[in-house]
Each structure stands twice: as structure tokens, then as C-alpha cells.
Amino acid sequence: MKLIHTSDLHLGKTIYETSLLADQQAMLNQLCAELEKDDYAALIISGDIYDRTIPPAEAVELFSGFLGTIRRKLPELAICIIPGNHDSAQRLSFADEILGEQHIHIVSKPENSFTPIIITKKTESAALFLLPFLSAGSLKPREKETDENNKVPDLFTDSAETLFTQTELAAEASRRFSEILVQPELSGIPTVLAAHLFTSGGQESDSERVFVGAAERVNPALFSQFSYVALGHLHRFQKITDAMYYAGSPLAYSFGEAGGEKYFLRVEIDTGQQNFPVQITPIPVQPLRTMTKLEGTFEEFYSGKDYDRFAGDYLEITLTDPVLIANPVNLLRPKFPYLLSLKQGAEAAAEQKIPGEKNTGTEKKRDPAADFTDFEEMLYGAADSAKTELFSSLLEECTDAS
């Protein structure tokens, strides 16, 4: 049985105020073409469909068009989706019951993760479990009966009523899965888990959102009972165990990822053997524009020809001149139209970052209050004035105290 595993699409993402929708459209076209090439049973997208909880309308339209195209061309393909930490689970699960009838399975509530989705391709079957990003309190330890009238909490963790950390939540999910996977109806078929989490041994990159108190690393052994675990959250393609992989993001979303290959993963499960061994084949994604970091003197970029072949790439350029170059972006942009970030070398003791066409040639000092307002707008669509005032007053107190 063949599956395609991907994750962290981050539809609607911008880099230095440059929209990546065209790049993401090209990437989804490649995914659609790959699905048409072979006899796949399911597409698994392991979270972070969108880049923010309230995605722009263009990003929603892009994903909707992709699903519609897949459904028309491959009506029997199972599409399995979970929300990640960037997504709004409630928004992503809109019309999930209706979509489920069209073989588009979206599980947004962790409590619904323990009901298997049985997919069948010809004579082969597999059970898929979809575990969305586990926020604090999203799972509670089940109670077990001591007699007919009295119940006590299952003391699987120290916090019997509410589970806050990723470690606790993952352990509770693992316990429930272990109870389900021994059921007779699942004994003769492979089991696959899609999950959005940070496992021990995983390597992060600088394009992932950092969470305070929610990004603990989860022991991969908690999910070793599955035939394959399709992970999302970390943007690097990487193997955690023989049956557990991060597909990584299909596009580079920071210059820290420049030069690295991006992939979809073909997962082949041998249903004819007892332990259901898997074979993983990375399928390279060809980006619309490559993300590239270059270094050299201003004159080498401005007058030379050595870097001309990179004119169509998204660029971060570091100038090595010993003196500060005035307005280098305005001078280099006609030759390198996709120049997004420019840094002056250590000798010049300066750095410039370019927000689209609004670059002034110098980097403004970060304003924590403005950053807080931007974060509120990203999450909720608008900043809460009471929260903003409270944050500003706390910031002022901290500043005075220092």
C-alpha cells in the first residue's frame, strides 16, 4: 500500500512581506501530479496547513482549489488532514462531516483521534489515526471505575484532571492508542498515525514558531506501536526511527534553510509481511524560486557577472566591503529583483533587512509593544485594546525596574 506524506504547507506565508502564494501553487501542482503518477491509497498532511490561525482569503482559496482538483481527478484517494500549532482547529474543521463523505478526513479534536479511519485499496487495508496538535487541556485522563457508584481518576500522570505539557498529553494519547490497537479488527492490518509534535532527536530550523512551555520534546517510543508515524512540525526532512519520519516543509521558509532539498515522502507498506515493514522514498520538490544566500563585495554584485545566474532566486546577500555601502538595495534591486535581505559585513558593523518595497536602508529597533499588537492581530484578526494596554503597562514597569 502506497501513501504520500507531507506537512507544514504554511499556505499564506510571506517572507519579508513577499507573498509566497505563487510558489505554493507550484508546489501543490507538483503534489497533485505525483498523486496522479502512482496508485496511492492516501495523502497525509500532518499539520500547519496555513501559516496563521486566520489565514488570508487567497490561501484558503488555494487550498480549496487543490482539494477540489484532487477530488475530481482521484475520487477514491483518501485525504487525511490534521491541524498544527499554526492552524485554527475550529476553522480548519469547517464542514468536516460533509467532507468525510468525500474521503477528506479532518480530525481537529484530539478526543476524536482514537477512532480509526479504515482505508482500502484493491485488496489491501490500513487503519489511519489522526492526532492534531495537542494544546494544554485538550486531553484529560480517563476515569476508571472502582465500583458502580464511585470513580477515581486514572493516575497515569501527576495531574489527574488537566494535562498541560506535551509530554503528559502525548503519554495519555499513547496509552489510549495502546488500548485500541489490540482490538481484533485491527490485528491483521497496518496502522498509521499522523501527528504534529516535536520528538526527541528531531532537528529544528529557524523557520518554526517557538512556543513557551508547549514545545517539550516527546519520546518517540510512545508511538512505536504503529506501523508508520507521519510527523509534522519540524521543517527538515528527517528520520526519527525506521517507521517514524518528518516529511519537513515542502518549501524553504527561511534563509536558514537555503540550499537544502525539500521533499514529499512516498511511504510503501508491505501488507504481506507480519510486521508490515515500510519503505520511504523522498520525492524532491522543485521550487518555483530557490532560496539562496550569497556573499561578496558590492562591486562584485553590481558590476560583475559571477552572480547573474542567481537573479531569479530569492536572495539574502551579505556584503563583505570594509565600509558601509549607502542604499545598496536600491542599487542592486534592478539586477536582482528578488533580493529580500541584505546584510553588511562585520567590518561595517551594520545590518539591513528589507520589508518588501518599504526598505529604508536601515533596520529599525524592535518595538515589543508593536510586536505584541502584531501577534494579537495574527492570531485573532484584531488586537484587544485591554490586553495591549496591560502589556504596555507591564513593559513600562519592567523598563523602569531595569
Q: Are residues 38 and 176 in the same domain?
A: yes
- Please state which of the ranges 147-161, 162-176, 237-251 shows the lowest mean pLDDT: 147-161
Q: Are residues 276 and 192 in the same domain?
A: yes
pLDDT digits (tens, 9 = 90+) for 96-133: 888 888 899 999 999 999 999 999 998 999 999 999 99
**What is the separation, in whole angstroms, between the first and last Cα of the chain?**
61
Q: In Å, how far are 12, 175, 227, 284, 318 from 26, measured between CA atoms?
A: 13, 40, 32, 13, 29
- Which of 284, 305, 340 represents a domain boundary (last residue)? 284
pLDDT band of 251, cuts 50, 70, 90: very high
User: Which of 264, 235, 259 shows the shortest CA–CA distance to 48?
Assistant: 235
The pTM (predicted TM-score) of the whole model is: 0.81
User: Which pLDDT belongs to residue 157?
Assistant: 43
Q: Are residues 112 and 186 in the same domain?
A: yes
Q: Are residues 266 and 163 in the same domain?
A: yes
Helix intervals (H) in 199-305: 298-302
Rounded to whole angstroms, the Cα distance separating 34 from 282 reads 12
DSSP per residue, 234-251: -SS-EEEETTEEE---SS
CA angle 48/51/53 to nearest 5° reads 90
Rounded to whole angstroms, the Cα distance separating 220 from 169 reads 13
Q: Are residues 268 and 384 in the same domain?
A: no
317 in a structural domain = yes
Q: In Å, how far are 35, 78, 196, 245, 253 from 81, measured between CA atoms?
A: 16, 10, 11, 16, 21
387 in a structural domain = yes
How is residue 2 written as a grid cell?
Answer: 502506497
pLDDT band of 152, cuts 50, 70, 90: very low
Residue 156 has pLDDT above 80, yes or no: no
Q: Are residues 223 and 276 in the same domain?
A: yes
Strands lying side by side in the sheet with 104-106: 104-106, 78-82, 42-46, 2-6, 263-269, 278-284
- Which of 249, 268, 284 represents a domain boundary (last residue)? 284
Mean pLDDT for the stretch of residues 188-200: 95
Mean pLDDT for the stretch of residues 73-101: 91
169 in a structural domain = yes
Q: Are residues 341 and 272 in the same domain?
A: no
Most confident of 139-143, 179-183, 256-260: 179-183
pLDDT band of 354, cuts 50, 70, 90: low
Rounded to whole angstroms, the Cα distance separating 53 from 87 reads 5
Residue 35 has pLDDT above 60, yes or no: yes
Rounded to whole angstroms, the Cα distance separating 139 from 332 reads 53
- Which of 284, 314, 330 represents a domain boundary (last residue)? 284
User: Which pLDDT belongs to residue 98?
Assistant: 85
Residue 371 has pLDDT above 90, yes or no: no
Paired residues of 301 in beta bridges: none
Mean pLDDT for the stretch of residues 172-196: 95
pLDDT digits (tens, 9 = 90+) for 285-312: 999 999 999 999 999 999 999 999 999 9
- Please state which of the ranges 92-96, 148-152, 365-369 shows the lowest mean pLDDT: 148-152
Mean pLDDT for the stretch of residues 144-172: 63
316 in a structural domain = yes
Q: Are residues 157 and 248 in the same domain?
A: yes
Q: Are residues 232 and 380 in the same domain?
A: no
**Which domain does 378 fall in, by range?**
368-401
User: Which pLDDT belongs to residue 248?
Assistant: 97
Q: Are residues 84 and 220 in the same domain?
A: yes
Alpha-carbon torsion angle 251, 252, 253, 259, nearest 10: -170
Q: Are residues 215 and 263 in the same domain?
A: yes
Paired residues of 2 in beta bridges: 268
Most confident of 82-86, 201-205, 368-372: 82-86
C-alpha 231 chain-centroid distance: 9
Amino acid at 231: L
Mean pLDDT for the stretch of residues 372-399: 66
pLDDT band of 357, cuts 50, 70, 90: very low
Is 305 buried (19+), middle (13-18) or exposed (0-12) by CB count in 10 A?
exposed
Distant-in-sequence, close-in-space partners of 33: CB < 8 Å, separation ≥ 6 = none
Amino acid at 278: V
pLDDT band of 39, cuts 50, 70, 90: very high
Q: Are residues 251 and 329 in the same domain?
A: no
DSSP per residue, 317-377: EEE--SSPPSSHHHHHTTT-TTEEEEEE-GGGT-EEE--GGG--SSPPPP-HHHHHHHHHH
User: Which of 76, 92, 66, 73 shows the shortest CA–CA distance to 42?
Assistant: 76
Rounded to whole angstroms, the Cα distance separating 389 from 392 reads 5
User: Which pLDDT belongs to residue 164?
Assistant: 79
Mean pLDDT for the stretch of residues 269-297: 96
pLDDT band of 378, cuts 50, 70, 90: low
How is residue 376 written as a grid cell?
Answer: 494579537
Rounded to whole angstroms, the Cα distance separating 118 from 41 reads 11
Work out how many domains the chain is built from and give that number: 3
CATH number of the domain bearing residue 210: 3.60.21.10
197 in a structural domain = yes
363 in a structural domain = no
